[in-house]
């Protein structure tokens, strides 16, 4: 489904990775540079790749975004909800950054955002974007 009005839904399979702080490295000459950790970068690239398969052109107006993250249940997990692993806001940030320029022109267009964490198999994120 390739549309720019209405709603688009898709699922990205893989263990979700929260947005990590950029790492700073000093070069031998004393200058420093920042980079995104590999796991975060790979997860964001996967989300962007799947989004490109579903979306021809980014949404241009205000949008509602719903992100439902499905995390693997730990072997000793007794809680019905994943309360101890990954902050929902950091999971959301990695997905939003991946969709910036792919699903939306700019993440400032997101006027309504819902983020959920659940246990699920397969692990991944269900993404729903609706033009308002």
Q: In the chain, what are the domains? A: 7-131 (3.30.1330.70)
DSSP, collapsed to helix, strand or coil, labels residue 13 as strand
Q: Which two tokens stand for residue 54?
A: 């579903």
Whole-number pLDDT of residue 2: 46
The confidence score (pLDDT) of residue 81 equals 80
Intervals of the chain under pLDDT 70: 1-5, 77
Q: How far is CA 1 from the centre of its chain?
A: 20
Q: Residue 70's pLDDT is what? A: 97
Residue 1 has a pLDDT of 40
pLDDT at 78: 76
Q: Give the pLDDT score at 97.
A: 97
What's the pLDDT at 4? 56
Structure-block tokens of residue 10: 């898709």
pLDDT of residue 17: 96
Residue 70 phi/psi, 5° resolution? -110, 115
pLDDT on residue 86: 87
Cβ–Cβ < 8 Å for 88, 117: yes
Q: Do residues 41 and 19 make contact, with C-beta atoms less than 8 angstroms apart? A: no
């Amino acid at each position: 489904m390739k549309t720019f009005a209405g709603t688009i839904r898709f699922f990205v399979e893989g263990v979700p990775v929260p947005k990590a702080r950029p790492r700073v490295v000093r070069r031998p000459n004393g200058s420093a540079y920042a980079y995104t950790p590999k796991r975060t970068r790979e997860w964001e690239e996967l989300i962007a790749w799947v989004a490109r398969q579903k979306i021809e052109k980014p949404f241009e107006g205000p949008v509602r975004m719903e992100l439902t993250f499905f995390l693997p249940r730990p072997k000793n997990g007794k809680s019905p909800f994943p309360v101890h692993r990954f902050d929902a806001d950091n999971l959301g940030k990695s997905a939003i950054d991946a969709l910036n320029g792919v699903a939306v022109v700019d993440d400032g267009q997101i006027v309504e955002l819902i983020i959920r964490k659940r246990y699920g198999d397969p692990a991944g994120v269900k993404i729903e974007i609706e033009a308002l």
